[in-house]
Amino acid sequence: MKLLRYGPAGQEKPGLLDAGGTIRDLSGVVSDLAGEALSPAGLAKLAALDPGSLPAISGTPRLGPPVIGMKNLVCIGLNYADHAAETGAPVPKEPIVFLKSLGALSGPNDDVIIPKNSVKTDWEVELCIIIGSKAKCVSEAEALDHVAGYAVGNDVSEREWQIERGGSWDKGKGCDTFGPVGPWLVTKDEVPDPQNLSMFCDVDGQRMQDGSTRTMIFGVKTLVAYVSHMITLHPGDVIFTGTPPGVGLGKKPNPVFLKAGQAMKLGIEGLGEQTQRTIAYEG
């Protein structure tokens, strides 16, 4: 299934995408895509529905993040061998874990705000793991039992704040709109091998990232198990799993960063695409 949330920001309704590409309203079945609705039983209930029996939504409504009610937006740094190489960083011996502010979460096609005084805002296409049931101290063998599915994410990053301003990476990662997720949650039964998905990111029509989850250092099972020993994972929690090479910071001989008025387009095989416009902070 492809599950989604549609409508104005803060007023989204749950829905699914049928085989013909039509959005079907789920608000008569579940109140939202959160909590128990993301559990194995909840997803089985939705999978048993006849999409044709659900109200069809016309037009092209705004899409919000495909899940809500999460407690954590977890991120993994330097998790692609080829990305670590382009940054000159050593391959991590254990996953590098940091957090995004929940305020960074945004819809897949919402504008990305370049923060005030930012000079090094960057893009990062990433596979997102969506947690479906509580995971605490789980093994790798159990990890996928707690996964509802996967989505496309853009781990937008302010590199000066992340790297040059001291302290943790969080300060360059959690700005408003720095966490687009979607367009939908694709349930794990439709993604038989999350470690073999092609992915890309274009900026103003120029291909910047062209990679694959094959080069991930720590795979999905490892990440869910590892993080669950440090942070209890709850339904709707999102794990951004790292990015392949081609980020602005890694461009040679001179890094390239985002400015207001640009367009990012990014996608992952089988999980859909996002498009964001960058705008200047006004405040």
Say if residue 245's pLDDT is above 90: yes
List the structure tokens of 55: 């109200």
Please check whether residues 37 and 167 belong to one and the same domain.
Answer: no
- Confirm if 185 and 272 have CB atoms less than 8 A apart: no
| Statement to judge: residues 59 and 77 lie in one domain | no
Look over the chain and give the mean of its residue pLDDT values, rounded to a whole number: 96
Q: How far apart are CA 249 and CA 246, in angstroms?
A: 8
Do residue 78 and residue 59 come from a single domain? Answer: no
Same structural domain, 41 and 177: no
Cα–Cα distance, 281 to 283 (Å, whole number): 6
Q: What average pLDDT does range 134-154 have in this prediction? A: 98
Are residues 146 and 181 part of one domain? Answer: yes
Domain extent at residue 39 = 2-64
pLDDT tens-place string over residues 10-30 = 999 999 999 999 999 999 999
Q: Are 215 and 135 in contact (CB under 8 A)?
A: no
Question: Chain centroid to CA 112: how far?
Answer: 14
Closest CA to 1 of 108, 101, 148: 148
pLDDT at position 215: 94
Whether residue 171 sits in one domain with residue 147: yes
pLDDT of 31: 97
pLDDT band at residue 166 using 50, 70 and 90 as cut-offs: confident
What pLDDT does residue 81 have? 85
Query: Can you tell me which residue has the tokens 């960083």?
Result: 89
Residue 273 has pLDDT above 80, yes or no: yes
Percent of the chain's residues with pLDDT above 70: 100
Indicate the pLDDT class of residue 147, thresholds 50, 70 and 90: very high
Model pLDDT, residue 88: 77
Give the domain CATH number at 127.
3.90.850.10
User: What are the structure tokens assigned to 267, written together?
Assistant: 């996608």
Query: 162 with 123, same domain?
Result: yes
Q: Are residues 41 and 173 in the same domain?
A: no
Q: What are phi and psi of 43, to 5 degrees?
A: -70, -35
* Domain match, 82 and 207 both: yes
Same domain, 116 and 51: no
pLDDT of residue 98: 95
CA 191 vs CA 142, 151, 182, 184: distances in Å: 17, 10, 15, 13
Number of folded domains that form the chain: 2
Q: What is the pLDDT of residue 52?
A: 96
% of the chain at pLDDT higher than 90:
91
pLDDT band at 89 (very low <50, low <70, confident <90, very high): confident
111-131 pLDDT, tens digit each: 999 999 999 999 999 999 999
Which has more confidence, 240 or 166? 240
